[in-house]
Amino acid sequence: MDRAVTISQVAALAGVSTGTASKALNGRGALRPETRLRVQQAAEQLGFVANAAARSLQTGRTYTVGMITTDSIGRFSIPLLIGAEDALGAGQMSVFLCDARDDPIREQYYLRTLLSRKVDGIIVTGRRTQARQPIGRDLPVPVVYAFISSADERDCSVVPDEADGARRAIRHLLAVGRRRIAHVTGPEHHHSAQVRAAGAVDTLAAEGLGLATPVLYGEWSEAWGRQAAGILLSTGADVDAVFCGSDQVARGLAEGLRDAGRAIPGDIALVGFDNWDVMVDGSRPALTSVDMDLEGIGRSAAEMLLAAINGEPVHGHQARPCRLVPRASTAV
């Protein structure tokens, strides 16, 4: 069963010492090409794979990073995970996944475990309404925050530029000829809702325009979207487009408007936020939406972590632009 091949077996087969075998396999030292080859073949033949524990004990590097999702692993974490795992895997690093479930105790527990495992770095991710407290002070390894941001400005945080997303949504609506734009979004206390709303207002202001109605704050759900449709229509406001704070809100709104006999995009054009496939494709018509490129954020965070591990830390908040994906709900 447990037939772990060690480097001394490889060395014995190749007729060299373990030290020489190590050098041969790692391309170090001064060896005859012929010897190097003999060792490599022996390793191949025995199926030798170096014991990572032994190696890291000696070198101090583990080629391992920890990834802590502070809230549960959810819809937003997955693309981040994938992106990070992608960038790290290419650098031969493995990822420890830790799901802290919004529990500070679990979080600290995981932090301890990761440190005891001597990870080379840590990525902290998750969904939060506000910037979060740093996960620890004076940690012996670099930390990068992805999607959420650290309250400490010196920490490296990679976040989507949500104001940019809002700007793109509004510009797009203006470009397709809409002028009387409303904004329906999530809870007012939610940072994303605030930033997106402000971004929308600012962009309109730059064109000498304003929102057609005050911002409608609610929750991040389809139900609220449907409800908002009623509110919007009952105000009698003359609206020819709605920028929604999320795809779910937009989908609900679309349903509500359709039920009330409004044509989309004929009467009212619609833009969502998140570019969540099941929502944008399930909506009728398909939903134009703002994509935050979460996978790119995950990848980018991982790259910055790698840089920090290699002694070139990046500090401060990195805001990454969004992308607008046009679909039928804003077709001309």
Partner DNA sequence: ACTGTCAAGGAAATCGATTGCCTAGAAGCT
Partner DNA sequence: AGCTTCTAGGCAATCGATTTCCTTGACAGT
Residues that bind DNA (CB under 7 A): 4, 6-8, 15-23, 25-26, 28-32, 34-35, 48, 50-51, 54-55, 57-59
Tell me which amino acid residue 330 is.
T
Tokens of 68: 């802590």
Using CA atoms, how far residue 272 sits from 123, 162, 257, 285, in Å, is 29, 13, 15, 12
> In this complex, which beta carbon is closest to its own copies, that of residue 63 or of residue 187?
63
> Are the C-beta atoms of 275 and 283 separated by less than 8 Å?
no
At residue 269, what are phi and psi to the nearest 5 degrees? -90, 155
Residue with tokens 């030290």: 19
The alpha helices in 207-245, defined as continuous H runs, are 222-234
> In this complex, which beta carbon is closest to DNA, that of residue 57 or of residue 97?
57
Residues 173-212 that bind its own copies (CB under 8 A): none
Residue among 10, 85, 192, 229 that touches its own copies (CB under 8 A): 85
Residues 213-252 that bind its own copies (CB under 8 A): 221-223, 248, 251-252
Round to whole Å and give the CA distance between 302 and 49.
Answer: 26
Nearest to 288 by CA among 332, 235, 258, 236: 332
Question: Collapsing DSSP states into helix, strand and coil, what is residue 132?
Answer: strand
> In this complex, which beta carbon is closest to DNA, that of residue 14 or of residue 253?
14
Judged by CB under 8 A, the number of residues near its own copies is: 54
One symbol per residue from 12 to 41: x for binding its own copies (CB under 8 A), - otherwise; what is it?
A: ------------------------------
Round to whole Å and give the CA distance between 40 and 194.
Answer: 60
**DSSP code for 315:** -
Instruction: Provide the minimum distance between the beta carbon of 193 and its own copies in the complex, in angstroms, as a whole number.
Output: 19
Residue among 50, 198, 237, 331 that touches its own copies (CB under 8 A): 50
**Quick one: 105 exposed, middle or buried, by C-beta within 10 A (0-12, 13-18, 19+)?**
exposed
Selected range binding its own copies among 27-35, 77-85, 166-174, 184-192, rule: CB under 8 A = 77-85
The alpha helices in the chain, defined as continuous H runs, are 7-14, 18-26, 33-46, 52-59, 77-90, 104-116, 162-175, 191-206, 222-234, 247-259, 277-282, 294-309
Task: By CB under 8 A, tell whether 4 contacts its own copies.
Answer: yes
* Chosen from its own copies, DNA, none, partner binding at 81 (C-beta under 5 to 8 Å by type): its own copies
Round to whole Å and give the CA distance between 79 and 96.
Answer: 16
Task: By CB under 8 A, tell whether 260 contacts its own copies.
Answer: no
Instruction: Provide the minimum distance between the beta carbon of 42 and DNA in the complex, in angstroms, as a whole number.
Output: 12
At residue 156, what are phi and psi to the nearest 5 degrees? -85, 120
Task: By CB under 8 A, tell whether 139 contacts its own copies.
Answer: yes
Selected range binding its own copies among 44-52, 160-168, 181-189, 202-210, rule: CB under 8 A = 44-52
One symbol per residue from 115 to 134: x for binding its own copies (CB under 8 A), - otherwise; what is it?
A: xxxx----------------
Round to whole Å and give the CA distance between 317 and 161.
Answer: 10
> Contact positions toward its own copies, by CB under 8 A?
1-4, 49-54, 56-57, 60, 62, 64, 67, 72-74, 78, 81-82, 85-86, 89, 92, 94-99, 112-118, 138-140, 221-223, 248, 251-252, 255, 278-279, 281-282, 284
